[in-house]
Structure 1
Amino acid sequence: MLESKYQKFFDEISTKISKEKIFTDKLHTLAYGTDASFYRLIPKVVIKTDNAQEVQNIIELANNMNLSITFRAGGTSLSGQAISDSILVITSRNFSNFKIASDASFISLQPALTGAQANGLLARYSKKIGPDPASINAAMIGGIAANNASGMCCGVSQNSYKTLKSMKLIFADGTKLDTGDENSKNKFRKTHKDFLEDLKSFSNETKSNEELREKIEKKFKIKNTCGYSINALIDFEDEFEILQHLIIGSEGTLAFIEEITYYTVEDLKDKASALIYFKDMNEACHAVTKLKLARDSKQIIVDAVELMDRAALKSIENDPAMPIFIKDFDDEVTALLIETRALNDEKLNIQINEIEQLLKEFSVERDIYFTKDEQEYNLYWKIRKGLFPAVGAVRVTGTTVIIEDVAYPIEVLAEATLELQGLFQKYGYTEAIIFGHALDGNFHFVFTQDFSDEKEVKRYDDLMNEVVNSVALKYQGSLKAEHGTGRNMAAFIEVEWGKTAYDMMKKIKNLFDPKSLLNPGVIINDDKEAHLKNLKTLPATNEIVDKCIECGFCEPTCPSNEITLTPRQRIVINREISRLESIGNTKEAKEYKELYQYDGIETCATCSLCSSACPVKIDTGSLTKHLRAEQLTSSSKNIANFVANNFSTTLAGVRFGLHSSNFIHKVLGTSNMQKFTKSLRSFSKNKTPKWSAYMPKAININISFEQKDSDKKVVYFPSCISRTMGLNSASKEEKELFDITVELLQKAGYQIIFPQNLSNLCCGMPFSSKGFNDASHTKSSQLEEALLNASEFGEYPILCDTSPCTKKMMESFSHKLSIYEPIDFALTFLKNDLEFTPIDEAITIHTTCSSRKMGLEDKFKKLALMCSTNVIIPSDVKCCGFAGDRGFNFPELNDSALRYLKTQTDGAKMAFSTSKTCEIGLSEHSGLDYNSIFYLVNQVTKAKSL
């Protein structure tokens, strides 16, 4: 039951915002209330907002009722600034409009676009936004601006503060302001005259205080997000410039960012990176200092320098992508990852040479080697970005990963960093690693911590107090360089800044938020032990996901991220269930399980794309399959085994169902069929499958056809889907996929071999996705044996026409066979066997989850470009959410995953993929007829002349 004041708030706000977007139950408040930090508060009310009007309604009502609110975007923040025990306002992924200037000199972004999406929009103009946090793929613009998040290249010259053009804001009293609109500003001048006068007086007071002004100038020469951006008070004269720059880094404590307009920066395409190994930390830090001074004096051009100490290198040395020689390094070796960018290759070569010459005096363990290979240097940076989560993966289960974030003046970098390493040894944090943006003197240090033991908490507190004194007092650095103050460093702001500056920050908070309702406890917090309270534990739940540190990197890839739960949130709930069971609270654990069934299990696509975004490859889809298997009854397992053992009969039943459905469709027509099936589904409470106008027709294939003998042989395994599901009734194609594949192979000169007993063969995926592991193993083993025999134990390549089935075969088979799906087969064989003549007609492609996980995304694009000069690839469509039969039984998953498809495929005339079930949903949501890429390959190729 909600407290009366929150119940009243709920009752009133639900008259303005759909109840479907307001959550007060224990599952959603816990799941949505979790961020990447090591703190936990559980909100009373969570609201997903789609637009500024909804946010304004919430703020006005909360202000009238004196209820505190916290704003949250992507939830990748690390310092406890995106959690609440009151009202949590989440910017839904629909809060994502944008506008690009005609010359691309600036871009206006709503808060829910990720940094990566913003850069994707700007890529065609060779532009990007300045901020580049490691979490850019998951972090949303609202959070990036509110935390003044920076990263590896932007430093202090291209962060949000320096590249801000204007903002649309909503204040604590509900007032809206557009700092880029003169009418809005004039109106604000009238309604908030005293506010602006006070702000101006704060600025004058700060400018006239010589000691404070000098301190601000010095401290903001390096990265600093500890406290408010009070450099705004001395950097600007105009009140609105002061105002909007104070919002940067304010962590939702001063106003809500409805929209931000950034000046864009050049995205130079010619770049090179080098991973350089120095003999020790001292040598590496002195090299950084020399690089920094040389860059500042315009002697060299270096865009980023990332440091990784030996412990950091050890955490990633077993990654297959890392050079094997790293394992042999001494314990003192320290690496610098250096990147330089240029307008063209000639200038790039000059810059590389200048950097190499500058570093000649330093002792390195390996020769300096700069790579221009995009795949190679992207790998370096991907590994660097994944360091924080990678450390979490090797922690003791149940412990928490702490990441701190400091910056030092460059002239004391070596001395300060060595002292920091000494503090780790003093307090027994021997596993701690140091890495970060060395060119800006900005280091992250990561260690693991047990918050369930009071002695361990005391050890943590002692360490942090010494770190604070060392960084803030001895070396005059920043306690927070880019992760924001949050709750983590709120108690230490006065230590770093002194009383005068801290009092000014309090005055700023009181001016913007006199009732202290916006994100209370963040930045301004008089509790000197705030950093030790509301600590989050990470209890064990299942070894599949126990290494998760809840960073949220997985969330943008998940097809259910806007309708139910994300992979991170699924793990959060499972951890809570396990925690409750461990203390004997089975009643509450059962309540969570019941709530979790739909949100966690039934609407999980098990596509496992989360593992591709996760730095440590955690596969929450596998967890869902495991949970589904646990729920199976003996009778359901018996039915699955019966189906597996009588598979040809089962497929005959599927064909009958498809035939009946299409017959009724033909009689009733599309409109009446939709009404009829919608009513039937409603009557059955969604127990009957959804019908689609793009439902395929039933087919039978004929493997008896005339062939010529050939030295080139291929084993063709048509999946059970392509053996039963044909073209939809609206398709203009005349031939089925099986016939197209045969025609294509014969044109390329292949003799086709089919496995024996084809009608009974299946890869096992329909069973494994539902948890029927025994039945899945049976079918997989049968197929493996058949393909072994057909391929003469691997002598011939094996082609499967469906990507998900191909991946399942690769994962399940014990023998090493040469198995290909359409994309890889076309590029490996057909590219050499046939002549390609690309068409000019615009096409679009969809890379299935399986293809992505097999590393075929870029290859699919390459193949598409061989077939067409105009290829459209929707940027915000990953997993389609159809997930085998989920698209029939839980169509809302497919609807959510493909909500951007139609607009992002605008202009395409033909559409292609590599999975029939995916193509059903893709066709429905785009209005295009999606078919296998083999249709296009067959269209644009001819046999090579002898």
Structure 2
Amino acid sequence: MLDSKYQKFFDEISLKISKDKIFTDKLHTLAYGTDASFYRLIPKIVIKTDNAKEVQDIIELANSMNLSITFRAGGTSLSGQAISDSILVITSRNFSNFKIASDASYISLEPALTGAQANGLLARYSKKIGPDPASINAAMIGGIAANNASGMCCGISQNSYKTLKSMKLIFADGTKLDTACEESKNEFRKTHADFLKDLKSFSDDTKNNEELRAKIEKKFKIKNTCGYSINALIDFEDEFEILQHLIIGSEGTLAFIEEITYYTVEDLKDKASALIYFKDMKEACTAVTKLKLARDSKQIVVDAVELMDRAALRSIENDPVMPKFIKDFDDEVTALLIETRAISDDQLNIQITQIEELLKEFSVVRDIYFTKDEQEYTLYWKIRKGLFPAVGAVRVTGTTVIIEDVAYPIECLAEATLELQGLFQKYGYSEALIFGHALEGNFHFVFTQDFSDTKEVKRYDDLMNEVVNSVAVKYQGSLKAEHGTGRNMAAFIEVEWGLDAYIMMKKIKSLFDPKGLLNPGVIINDDKEAHLKNLKTLPATNEIVDKCIECGFCEPTCPSNELTLTPRQRIVINREISRLESIGNHKEAKEYKKLYQYDGIETCATCSLCSTACPVKIDTGSLTKHLRAEQLTPGAKSIANFVANNFSATLKGVRFGLHSANFMHKVLGTPSMETFTKTMRDLSGKRVPKWSTYMPKGTNVNLNFEQQVKDKKVVYFPSCISRSMGVNDMSKEEKELFDVTIELLQKADYQIIFPQNLSNLCCGMPFSSKGFNEAAHTKSSELEEALLNASEFGEYPILCDTSPCTKKMMESFSHKLSIYEPIEFALTFLTKDLEFTPIDEAITIHTTCSSRKMGLEDKFKKLAQLCSTNVIIPADVKCCGFAGDRGFNFPELNDSALRYLKKQTNGAKMAFSTSKTCEIGLSEKSGLDYNSIFYLINRVTKAKNL
């Protein structure tokens, strides 16, 4: 229940913003209020905004009512700067327009685009944005700029501050400013003359304060995001340049970033990386110092140097892609991951040799080896980027993962780092690990902490006070190098910067935000114990997800990320339910469960793509299946078992239903059919499935066709979907998938073998996705036995025409069989058996979730390019959200997941995938007729003349 002032705000803002984007209930305020930090505040109101007008309305109303607001983009921030106990404004994923200059020298971006999306837009021009944080796939532009996030390679020369061209801003009073527009600046000069006058005086005062100016120059020679970017006061004369550079790193405390324009940087394609293992930390840090000095004097070209201490290596040594010998290293070994980039391969070889020569004097425990293999070095960098979340996989359940972010002057790197390690030992943090951007003297240190124990909180406080003194006072480093001040270091800004600088920062805050309503408590906070308040715990809920640290890396891949909840948010809610149950508050836990049913369970596609983005492979889809299974009644299980045991009859019923719907469509026509089915669905309370014009007709398979005995044999298992669902009325294709597959296999000179009792066979997926595990096991076991016999116990390859079914078989079968879905089968066999002649027509492809999880995304692209000279792949379409039959019952999930599809497939004439149910939703949302890739392969191939 909202108190009166927030209720009044809600009532008034609801007149301007749709209520379905405003949340006050306990489920959404908790879920949406969570970020990646170890702090938690629960907002009173959460608002998802799609555009700048909505943000301006919110700011103006909040300002008039003296209510504080906090802005949130991707929520990957680590220092508590994106949480609120008042009004939280989230930039929805629709707040994502962009514009690229004709020469690609700059790009204008709205705040909800991720860094990876921005780089994807620029890739065709061999350009990228400068900032490259480890969270770039999930972190959004608004947060990257607001935190001055940097990362692996950008250092301080290519961060947001250095590559900023212009901004569109909304201030605390609702005023808008476009720093690239003279008209906008002139208007601002009229309305904010005193503001600009004060800002100029701040700049003059700082430039005239020799001691302060010298301190600023020194501290910004290394990475520094502690406090405001007061280097803007001495770097520029123009008030608007000062203003917009102060916004960088201001963490939403000065203004809202409506749009930022970045100067782009070159993205050199010739790269090489080496993972080099030094005998100890001192040796590695000394090598870093030499690399840094050599780079600065232009003796070598090195783009990134990432350090990982032995504890960091230990946290990833069991990853299958890591070399096995790492496990045998002693406790002092420290690794450097080094990357160098060049304009050509010849130049790259020269650079590699120069780096190897420079490192000859150092003691390494393995020979230095640079790889130019993209797949190999990409894996190294993926492991490095996932180090922070990976720590969550080895922590004690229930503890919180703490990450700190410091930078040292390069000349004292080794000494300072060894002292930091000593502090860990002094306070008993034996599990603490160090990694980070060593070339910039920027290290992250990570340890686990139990915040439920007051003694443990005291231990943490004692450690942090010593760390602050060591980093900021003794070594004159940065307490926050790139993660932003947040609530984490706000109490220590004066310690690092001194009184003059801190007073200037407070003046800046008061100038931009006189009422102190923008993200209060962040950056400027006089509470010396702010870092110890509102600490977040991570209670156990289910071993499937207990290792999650709520980093948010999973969120961009989730098909429900803009509709309901993301994987991270589902885990947050389940943790709260478990916490409430553990303290006996079953009433409130029950309330959460009721609220969670639709947002958490019904609209989860269980596609498990979250696990592909998660560094520790946490699969929230599996959690949803587990929860669905818990909800099943004995009666429902009995029905599922009956269906499984009478599967042939079930498929007959499906075909009859599809035939009936098709007959009604022909009689009524499309408009009347749509009206009728919509009415029936509405009257039934959404229990009647949605009808689509792309609904397939019923079909059956005919196994009685002529074929000869051949040396080449293949077992073909047509999935139950392709045995019951045919082409739709909108399709120009006349043949069914089964017939096309038979034609294609015979063209390739195969004898085709079918498993016995085919009409009753199913992989079990329709049952397992709903939690009917017993029925799923029954069907999977039947199919495995049938395929074992048909393939002569693995002698022949097995082809399934549907990717999701193939993956289910691979996961469920106990015997090792050579099972292929269409992409892998085509590349492995058909490219040898058939001659491909690509067409010139533009096509588009959709890689299903199952195919992505099987590592077939690039292979599908390769196969498509064998078939067409013009392949369009929509960049922002992952899971289609159809999820088997969920697209019929919860079509809004399919709508949300494919909201970018039509725009991003513009120009395509034909469309292909590897799953019939996915193809239904894809066709409806794009207006294209999606079919199996086998249709295209059959069209563009002929038998080879041997």
TM-score (norm 1): 1.00
Write out per-residue CA displacement over residues 629-677 of structure 1, whole angstroms, 9 at most, x where no aligned residue. Answer: 0000000000000000000000000001000001000111111111111
| DSSP-derived class of the 1:720 partner | coil
Task: Give the CA deviation at 1:734.
Answer: 1.3
- Confirm whether residue 609 of structure 1 aligns to residue 609 of structure 2: yes
Matches within 5 A, 1:478-877: 478-877=478-877
| DSSP-derived class of the 1:479 partner | coil
Partner residue in 2 for 1:29: 29
C-alpha distance in 2 between matches for 1:180 and 1:892: 39
- Confirm whether residue 387 of structure 1 aligns to residue 382 of structure 2: no
Partner residue in 2 for 1:407: 407
- Confirm whether residue 300 of structure 1 aligns to residue 288 of structure 2: no
Write out per-residue CA displacement over residues 762-816 of structure 1, whole angstroms, 9 at most, x where no aligned residue. Answer: 0000000000000000000000000000000000000000000000000000000
- Confirm whether residue 164 of structure 1 aligns to residue 198 of structure 2: no
Partner residue in 2 for 1:280: 280
Task: Give the CA deviation at 1:330.
Answer: 1.1
Partner residue in 2 for 1:932: 932
- Confirm whether residue 467 of structure 1 aligns to residue 470 of structure 2: no
Write out per-residue CA displacement over residues 813-849 of structure 1, whole angstroms, 9 at most, x where no aligned residue. Answer: 0000000000000011111111111111110000000
Partner residue in 2 for 1:264: 264
Amino acid at match of 1:756: Q
C-alpha distance in 1 between matches for 2:185 and 2:667: 62
Task: Give the CA deviation at 1:680.
Answer: 1.2
C-alpha distance in 1 between matches for 2:388 and 2:575: 21
Task: Give the CA deviation at 1:205.
Answer: 0.1
Task: Give the CA deviation at 1:742.
Answer: 0.4
Amino acid at match of 2:832: N
C-alpha distance in 1 between matches for 2:672 and 2:739: 33
Task: Give the CA deviation at 1:683.
Answer: 1.2
Write out per-residue CA displacement over residues 887-941 of structure 1, whole angstroms, 9 at most, x where no aligned residue. Answer: 0000000000000000000010010000000000000001100000001111111
- Confirm whether residue 252 of structure 1 aligns to residue 252 of structure 2: yes
C-alpha distance in 2 between matches for 1:300 and 1:892: 54
Partner residue in 2 for 1:423: 423
Matches within 5 A, 1:224-373: 224-373=224-373
C-alpha distance in 2 between matches for 1:295 and 1:852: 39
Matches within 5 A, 1:102-181: 102-181=102-181
Write out per-residue CA displacement over residues 96-139 of structure 1, whole angstroms, 9 at most, x where no aligned residue. Answer: 00000000000000000000000000000000000000000000
| DSSP-derived class of the 2:117 partner | helix
C-alpha distance in 2 between matches for 1:590 and 1:117: 39
Amino acid at match of 1:610: C
| DSSP-derived class of the 2:778 partner | helix
C-alpha distance in 2 between matches for 1:243 and 1:595: 44
| DSSP-derived class of the 2:275 partner | strand
Matches within 5 A, 1:428-443: 428-443=428-443
Q: Which runs of 5+ in 2 are unaligned?
A: none
C-alpha distance in 2 between matches for 1:589 and 1:362: 58
| DSSP-derived class of the 1:157 partner | coil
| DSSP-derived class of the 1:168 partner | strand
Partner residue in 1 for 2:182: 182
| DSSP-derived class of the 2:335 partner | strand
Write out per-residue CA displacement over residues 586-609 of structure 1, whole angstroms, 9 at most, x where no aligned residue. Answer: 000000000000000000000000
Partner residue in 1 for 2:73: 73
| DSSP-derived class of the 2:809 partner | helix
Task: Give the CA deviation at 1:704.
Answer: 1.2
**Count of residues in Structure 1 that have an aligned counterpart in Structure 2:** 946
C-alpha distance in 2 between matches for 1:193 and 1:535: 42
Partner residue in 2 for 1:375: 375
Amino acid at match of 2:772: F
Write out per-residue CA displacement over residues 65-117 of structure 1, whole angstroms, 9 at most, x where no aligned residue. Answer: 00000000000000000000000000000000000000000000000000000
Identity of aligned residues (%): 89
Write out per-residue CA displacement over residues 717-770 of structure 1, whole angstroms, 9 at most, x where no aligned residue. Answer: 000000000000010011110000000000001000000000000000000000
| DSSP-derived class of the 2:721 partner | helix
Partner residue in 2 for 1:17: 17
Write out per-residue CA displacement over residues 461-519 of structure 1, whole angstroms, 9 at most, x where no aligned residue. Answer: 00000000000000000000000000000000000000000000000000000000000
Task: Give the CA deviation at 1:334.
Answer: 0.4
C-alpha distance in 2 between matches for 1:96 and 1:729: 36
Partner residue in 2 for 1:453: 453
Task: Give the CA deviation at 1:681.
Answer: 1.0
| DSSP-derived class of the 2:488 partner | coil
Q: Which runs of 5+ in 1 are unaligned?
A: none
C-alpha distance in 1 between matches for 2:181 and 2:339: 39
- Confirm whether residue 55 of structure 1 aligns to residue 21 of structure 2: no
Partner residue in 1 for 2:222: 222
Amino acid at match of 1:323: P
Amino acid at match of 1:45: I
| DSSP-derived class of the 2:839 partner | coil
Structure 1 segments, 4+ long, off by >3 Å, are none
C-alpha distance in 1 between matches for 2:840 and 2:360: 52
Q: Give RMSD over aligned pairs.
A: 0.4
Amino acid at match of 2:89: V
C-alpha distance in 2 between matches for 1:668 and 1:183: 58
Write out per-residue CA displacement over residues 190-235 of structure 1, whole angstroms, 9 at most, x where no aligned residue. Answer: 0000000000000000000000000000000000000000000000
C-alpha distance in 2 between matches for 1:424 and 1:158: 32
C-alpha distance in 2 between matches for 1:542 and 1:366: 40
Task: Give the CA deviation at 1:678.
Answer: 1.0
C-alpha distance in 2 between matches for 1:934 and 1:68: 57
- Confirm whether residue 2 of structure 1 aligns to residue 8 of structure 2: no
Task: Give the CA deviation at 1:684.
Answer: 1.2
C-alpha distance in 2 between matches for 1:110 and 1:748: 51
Task: Give the CA deviation at 1:708.
Answer: 1.0
Task: Give the CA deviation at 1:15.
Answer: 0.1
C-alpha distance in 2 between matches for 1:785 and 1:770: 24
Task: Give the CA deviation at 1:685.
Answer: 1.4
C-alpha distance in 2 between matches for 1:135 and 1:358: 31
C-alpha distance in 1 between matches for 2:297 and 2:668: 77
Amino acid at match of 1:759: S
| DSSP-derived class of the 2:841 partner | coil
Task: Give the CA deviation at 1:358.
Answer: 0.6
C-alpha distance in 1 between matches for 2:689 and 2:536: 41
C-alpha distance in 1 between matches for 2:703 and 2:300: 66
| DSSP-derived class of the 1:77 partner | coil
TM-score (norm 2): 1.00
C-alpha distance in 2 between matches for 1:521 and 1:622: 38
C-alpha distance in 1 between matches for 2:703 and 2:827: 25
C-alpha distance in 1 between matches for 2:53 and 2:734: 50
Task: Give the CA deviation at 1:159.
Answer: 0.1
C-alpha distance in 1 between matches for 2:366 and 2:520: 51
- Confirm whether residue 908 of structure 1 aligns to residue 908 of structure 2: yes
C-alpha distance in 2 between matches for 1:694 and 1:450: 54
C-alpha distance in 2 between matches for 1:119 and 1:423: 39
C-alpha distance in 2 between matches for 1:277 and 1:156: 26
| DSSP-derived class of the 1:869 partner | strand
